[in-house]
Amino acid sequence: MTSGETRSDAEIINAALEFTIPVAHRMGVRAELAEPGHAVLTVPAEGNSNHFGAIYAGVLFTVGEMLGGAISLASFDTTAYYPLVKDLQIFFRKPAKTDLRSEAFLSDDEIQRVTAEAAANGKADFQLRATVHDADGVLVAETVGTYQIRALGR
């Protein structure tokens, strides 16, 4: 990177992943896109299969759950708040045998609501729905999570 260039949120997430969530780094989870209100993560099939050749359920959970952190880092002030997951449900739809792509969206209105609530209370919850597709575009899992941003030092 040359002087004056900035790193994208996805690049920052990928650079930090090895130290912040080592198990996800070992799985090969990568942020493809992280911008306000939108995040996309991927994970390879290689090295992540179970005893019958499908992707291990924990890998699907991880690539779905981590979207909450990725979207938080891209949508909220990281000098003031950190994200955490409070609850997550996963709905397995089909066995996956190829690389995976997870995706989630958060509306501008919801980002503004969460930002205002966190400024007033030091923390704010939000719900995030995500999808996980295989390399052929088949829906293999969906997640519904409750996440929170919390003021640093709390």
Interval 80-132: pLDDT, tens = 999 999 999 999 999 999 999 999 999 999 999 999 999 999 999 999 999 99
pTM above 0.75, yes or no: yes
The span from the CA of 145 to the CA of 75, in Å, is 16
Domains and CATH numbers, the chain: 9-151 (3.10.129.10)
**Residue that is written with structure tokens 């939000």 in the block:** 126
Tokens at 142, concatenated: 């969906």
CB within 8 A of 84, min separation 6: which ones?
147, 148, 150
